[in-house]
Structure 1
Amino acid sequence: MVLFILLLCPGWLFSQIETGTQRENQLRRQAKNITEEEKEGALEIPVVDSTYIVGPADQLAISIFGTQYYSYKPVVNSDGAIIIPSLGKIYVRDLTLREVRAVIEKQIRRSVPKAEILVSLAKARKVKVTVAGAIKNPGVVLLPASARVSETLERIGGVIPDTTSLRNIIVRRLNGKVETADLLRYYRLGDLSGNPFVTGGDVIYFPPRDQMVGVLGAVGKEGWIDYIPGERLFDAIEVCQGFRASAFLDSVEVVRFKKDNVSTYRIFINLNDYPEDQSQNIELRPGDLVLVRAYPRYHFRRLVYLYGEVKYAGVYPVEKGGTRLSTLIRRAGGFTEDASLEEATVTRRGSEIERDREYERLKKMSPADMREDEYEYFKARSRERRGQMVVDFKDLFILGDTSEDIILRDGDVIEVPKKKNYISIIGQVNSPGNVIYNPDWNYLNYVAAAGGFGWRSNEGDVRIVKARTGELVDAEDLDSYKLEPGDTIWVPEVPEVRFWDIALTTLGVMSQLAGIVGIIIAVSR
């Protein structure tokens, strides 16, 4: 039956298909037109429809969606009206953009009741504004009518640092009305009430900074801000972005000058019920200093840092005077199989490490200008690992010597390096490098394993650099050290003897001998 109908009515079927295709193409064209209109009508500065006042030279964008799609871009004429074909003239002057939208929609719905209507500001008119005061480039600027005072400031190149006031800005309207702008409040809090719109003919005056109030301590952004006549304590605190969680509100202090403008007195205010308790919201005066103290060591965390060959390296909290090294290592899951306890260290950093003024002085000197004892002290300090605590991990964790179990403090760094199963040989040997550690060998065995001494080696001055401490010891002093994995054997080079140095030394000795001989001859006569 269906097949029979289709055979009888092929024209009807194809017409329906064509109609659907046309409708789809129409919707695509409408969407494309809307996108292009949005691009063309993109405003330089966004507007708020409830506050923007429409006036002559503003261009609106009107889109009507119904059985047909219509798009208009009327410009407000000097009479304050727009003209829409088939609808006629609509007066929109001195109305907000929101009110204009309502008026236009009402007019269009009389003709197209079920239409969807979009009304927006396509292009804002330009207005001239005069900018004066303590700014870089005073003068007249051309701005979109959607601009605010902050955009005016950007166009003139900004403020003069530490000179221009951002709080007591005066905006004189063409109709004689005077408003104030508080851009500091706008920048810090996003409060648009401190950043009004500009209108044609405005004169905006940026005064110099003069009278100030200070808000210091546990507030979001402490510092000195411009004083505004009639401003109260809560206003200043709000502009400084409120109290921090650490603020001690029981006794906020206001330091105020007396009438002689020299001596001061103090006012203590309980702000535990801030901001509800308005009885504490005193009026500020020029020069007032508000001090907001913080709870000492509020939410202070004592942390130590554990790196290297432990199961769970990372940052760990410790209790004051109550967390020992062994406790921390247990919390970290213990050492790995590759941990080198011989080289593990605890480094204490921060205020507990005293500054060595003598070492700082010697660092500025040339070694040639130092006395012998100063040079020896400088070398010892240079090799020292600043802040390293004396802890033997091997004695503590293997032999159980609890005297090595130090109490950890905030900022301590515990490093457990990977085990080095070798001794490093550097300097004047035939094959410098690493040799596998053998507990039964002395330094000569390792030198032999590295190919023996080189032809310019100073065999009598071999040194050992201890991996754990960085200490430099004489290799022949076998009683003062034991070779351990990670140690370095350094074979220095015999100092090169230059002919000129020998000649100078010989001449010096000969001249001294000649002088002595001359004295003897003179005496013998």
Structure 2
Amino acid sequence: MDHKKLIASALGTVLLIAGSAVAQVAPAASGNTPASTLNQGYLLGPGDVIEVSVLGQAEFTTRQPVQADGTVTLQYIHAVKASGLSVLQFRDQVARLLKQGGFYNDPVVIVGVAQYASRYVTVLGEFGTPGILPVDRPYRVSEIIARAGGVRATAGDTVIVRRSNGDELSLSISAVASGGPLEDPYVSPDDKLFIATAANFYVSGQVGAPGVYKLEKNMTYRMALARAGGVTDRGSMGKVSVYRNGKKVKVDLDAPVAADDSIFIGERFF
């Protein structure tokens, strides 16, 4: 399913994810993934695990982590710089060193990433599965939301993107799901994405469906009552009381509802 359709569906039907809201680390790419399917433009960094082989040379096949100093230890050529290089650049460097050392003539080197660990974004709050997501290529915000399991029923309609340089974007999730590149920008490694819990309001008394409801942008008291099933035959629009922070307040029914407002509909006099 297209990732934008997934998010739009999550907003419409609201995706409920069972389990703890505690951040979970997303699984890394499978070590069995063929090298040909991996992103060759990915920039390597400490913690990544790479597979290196030479075509037709079974003895030169290995899986090694990128060390804290940014190097990878390989047969014959020992410590080779990897951090900051793309997979393609590292491949070409290994081929050059093997040829210069006289180990192989024109070796065909194959490099793949078995585990992505050095480049990731963090998703927090009301995502379906909060945690850490590896980024092996450029991803848009909508793709990250889809990879993180959509949004929960309790999610607000805004996703905050905090860049590693301190810049911050506030994006409408609805616009991200249906908009273009401006509404759905790319994330960068080390970005943090946060979705806050939606504000609620409460409706009780003579309405069709008393309960707790998610507060939507620009929702008026009339709209809130309609959301709660409308006023019953026993209720009266003249008996609307609104309580805010424990105190009764006077409101216009066409005014916007405030977060945590409690709306009570009393009975009409017959």
Q: Which has the higher contact order (CA 8 A, sep 6+)?
A: 2
Judging by fraction of residues, say which structure has more strand: 2
Scaled to the shorter chain, the TM-score interval is: 0.3 to 0.5
TM-score normalized by structure 1?
A: 0.26
Larger radius of gyration: 1
Q: Which structure has greater helix proportion?
A: 1
Name the TM-score, length of structure 2 as normaliser.
0.45
